[in-house]
Amino acid sequence: MTLLEPSIPTIDIDPDVQADVDKFREVLAGYQTGDVTEDVFRVFRLTNGIYGQRQGGTNQMVRVKVPYGSMQPEQFDMIANLVERYSRGWAHITTRQNLQFHYVQLDQIPDVMQHLASVGLTTREACGDTVRNVQGCHLAGACPHENLDITPWAEAAYQHFVRNPLGQRLPRKFKINFSGCDTDCGQAMFNDAGVIATTRTLEDGTVEAGFRVFIAGGLGTTPFPAMALEDFTPKEELLPTLEAILRIFEQTGNRDNKLRARLKWVVENLGFEEVQRRILNTRKFLLASSSYPGGLPTEVRVADDAPAGIGNGAAVTQVGQGIPVSIGGASPYDRWFQANVVRGIASGQVSAYAWAQLGDITADQFRGIAAIQREFEADIRLTNRQNLIIRGLDESELPRLYELLAEIGMAEEGAELVRDVVACPGADTCNLAVTQSRGLAKAIGDALDAEGLGTIGGLRINISGCTNSCGQHHASDIGFFGAERRANGRSALGYQMLLGGYVGQERMHFGDKALRLPAKAAANAAVRVVRQFNDERTAGESFRGWLERSGGAAAIGATLKDLDEFPEYDEDPDFYVDFDETGPYSAEIGESECAT
């Protein structure tokens, strides 16, 4: 193994992780000699978190699994070194709280995996037809609204399912997500198994904390809202419930057609009542399993799942989609404090967002975050809106934190507000994308800032480079997905605009189609919608409430129809060139490696 400089303190490597690395070396060697076929190696590679890129050849994307987004300083340091040595100098936070970096050469992958293992990180099952990264609300344990701290539960689910024989060759990928309350910052409502902590009052008046489990949600080309499996799932039955859901999916998922293989299609084919019956019946008899996961998991018994609680007299920060935020004040620090700090838990500690533009973090920023984590002894997590949140702070430490974040370019006020556009990697690296979604995301953010609208609260904008919704365009107030157009006899790049997506309060509304637009007009369309919402909304009115009052997505789309025009190529050739490209657009779609 080639050592990285500077050297970084390591932990004892998990034998299971080391076995994954050793096996990858062995199978890669077999592939290079021709003893392992292309199709077999592809499945093996994906199961180990390694994707091919649209550039072809030996270029690979490495996806690092980060359960519920939690990372340690030595891990940030290691990612910094790896992206400098093997990639482009930066890594990307995904909407599922993973980290990924690109252009790693195939023969370098085992060394990269070994370095990750040395600090307790793995790529195992970050991709492929497996149980993917277990997500969790980034505020878990630091939120004044939560019913339970879902952190140890997410850890228990991760530990139970990683390398579990049940999940190694599923009909399709399987996603689990945890939220600590019905605000659903973890976005449980569009996952195969979404878990939301809740409470119930028993006959003797005592209050019992437990969960509501939702199943068969999903985005993609055909979005499905998750449905409640039962009214209340006791703590002792949560892991058996999740295992029963996985078992039924493994048994009934469509193995002949990957486009209709997810759990949502099982419900579509069998009906919800039949799937529910099978899951609950399977759970009842799991007691006979030699690996029965019933009772309180060790992770919960050790770490405790008590909620953060609400502080006496403290200003409680509202969280979730659609919450208006007022940003004022004379100084950049004041504006950052108002927009980026979460307060109100019983311990008196606060949390603060660090902004990662487009979800990208450079090597120097990773090192800066590691230094911050050490100085403040903070807990840091990746968010599903592609930022970081620094938790466990004393309010007196915030000025120093702001200073350090400003030094590394991560102190922008309004992280997770409207200027903070979420995008998938797009046609930069993805085989399926037809547009440069990242370029549009930057264009929208810049246009909103130029118009003085960048820090409007209560709005989210998400972009995907194709219909597969890796950028979660269905779930945002304003969503875009890339689509090829024809204009003036030429191939042209365009987007479908959606309006009104929302997730929260155990509800899931998918955005409705407004209109199709040329890519170079999409930023202008976003600005006009944001401005109209800002000018017309009543006090505290949500975007979806305003949209319904204004006639819906189609009515708003009709006011933008003047933007759906392509000039002649000779008049404005830039309309036919995608963001970050130099030549005329042409849709080039490769074979799917496995849409996220």
Q: Which of 375, 407, 439 is the last residue of a domain?
A: 407
Give the up-direction half-sphere exposure of residue 104: CA atoms within 13 A in the CB hemisphere. Answer: 28
Q: Which of 117, 137, 154 is the last residue of a domain?
A: 117
Q: How far is CA 173 from the centre of its chain?
A: 15
Residue 152, preceding bond cis, omega within 30 degrees?
no
Asked if residue 497 and residue 451 are part of one domain, the reply reads yes
Nearest-angstrom CA–CA distance, 368 and 275 = 48
Joined tokens for residue 325: 């935020």
Angle at the Cα of 588 (from 587 to 590), degrees rounded to 5?
Answer: 145
Q: Could you report the per-residue pLDDT of 478-531, keeping only the tens digit for each?
A: 999 999 888 888 888 999 999 999 999 999 999 999 999 999 999 999 999 999
The number of residues in the chain equals 596
Q: How far is CA 183 from the centre of its chain?
A: 16
Strands 478-487 and 461-464: parallel
Q: What is the pTM of this model?
A: 0.95
Closest CA to 318 of 354, 342, 301, 283: 342
Asked if residue 161 and residue 109 are part of one domain, the reply reads no
Q: What is the helix (H) or strand (E) element at residue 250, kind and residue range?
A: helix 238-252
Domain range spanning residue 396? 332-407
Asked if residue 463 and residue 403 are part of one domain, the reply reads no
The helix/strand/coil state of 565 is coil
Asked if residue 178 and residue 240 are part of one domain, the reply reads yes
Strands 70-71 and 360-362: unpaired
User: Within 253-380, where are the H helices?
Assistant: 263-270, 272-284, 298-303, 332-340, 363-376
Closest CA to 199 of 123, 305, 85, 327: 305
Compute the radius of gyration of the chain from its Cα atoms: 23
What's 17's DSSP letter?
A: H
Asked if residue 453 and residue 387 are part of one domain, the reply reads no
The identity of residue 144, as a single letter, is: P
Q: In CATH, what number is assigned to the domain containing residue 361? A: 3.90.480.10
415, part of any domain: no
126, part of any domain: no
User: Which residues lie closer than 8 Å to 195 by C-beta, 6 or more apart?
Assistant: 150, 153, 176, 177, 178, 179, 188, 211, 212, 213, 214, 238, 242
Joined tokens for residue 160: 């139970």
Low-confidence stretches of the chain (pLDDT < 50) are 1-3, 6, 8, 595-596
pLDDT in the model for residue 371: 98
Instruction: Report whether 337 contacts 54 (CB < 8 A).
Output: no
Asked if residue 564 and residue 446 are part of one domain, the reply reads yes
The identity of residue 364, as a single letter, is: D
User: Which residues lie closer than 8 Å to 117 by C-beta, 6 or more apart?
Assistant: 13, 14, 17, 18, 20, 21
Asked if residue 259 and residue 297 are part of one domain, the reply reads yes
- What backbone phi and psi angles, to 5 degrees, belong to 276? -60, -45
583, part of any domain: no
Asked if residue 536 and residue 440 are part of one domain, the reply reads yes
pLDDT in the model for residue 2: 43
| Other residues' Cβ atoms within 10 Å of the Cβ of residue 105 | 12
pLDDT in the model for residue 87: 98
76, part of any domain: yes
Nearest-angstrom CA–CA distance, 178 and 133 = 11
Q: Which of 303, 320, 355 is the last residue of a domain?
A: 303
Question: What's the longest Cα–Cα distance across the chain?
Answer: 78
pLDDT in the model for residue 4: 53
pLDDT in the model for residue 595: 46
pLDDT in the model for residue 256: 95
Joined tokens for residue 300: 């919960």
137, part of any domain: no
**Between the CA of residue 506 and those of 97, 124, 501, what are the distances in Å?**
21, 31, 14
* DSSP, residue by residue, 500-564: --EEETTEEEPPEEEEEEEHHHHHHHHHHHHHHHHHHPPTT--HHHHHHHTT-HHHHHHTTGGG-
| Other residues' Cβ atoms within 10 Å of the Cβ of residue 486 | 10
Nearest-angstrom CA–CA distance, 27 and 277 = 41
Asked if residue 571 and residue 430 are part of one domain, the reply reads yes
Strands 99-105 and 90-93: antiparallel
What's 471's DSSP letter?
A: T
Q: In CATH, what number is assigned to the domain containing residue 248? A: 3.30.413.10
Asked if residue 537 and residue 428 are part of one domain, the reply reads yes
383, part of any domain: yes
382, part of any domain: yes
529, part of any domain: yes
Burial class (CB in 10 A: 0-12, 13-18, 19+), 206: exposed
First to last CA, the chain: 31
Asked if residue 254 and residue 157 are part of one domain, the reply reads yes
What's 207's DSSP letter?
A: E
Q: In CATH, what number is assigned to the domain containing residue 48? A: 3.90.480.20
Q: What is the helix (H) or strand (E) element at residue 403, kind and residue range?
A: helix 398-407
Asked if residue 396 and residue 344 are part of one domain, the reply reads yes
Closest CA to 270 of 284, 258, 254: 254
* DSSP, residue by residue, 217-233: -B-TTS-B--EES-S-B
The total of structural domains in the chain comes to 4
Q: What is the helix (H) or strand (E) element at residue 494, kind and residue range?
A: strand 490-499
Find where tokens 């370098």 sit: 108
The helix/strand/coil state of 27 is helix
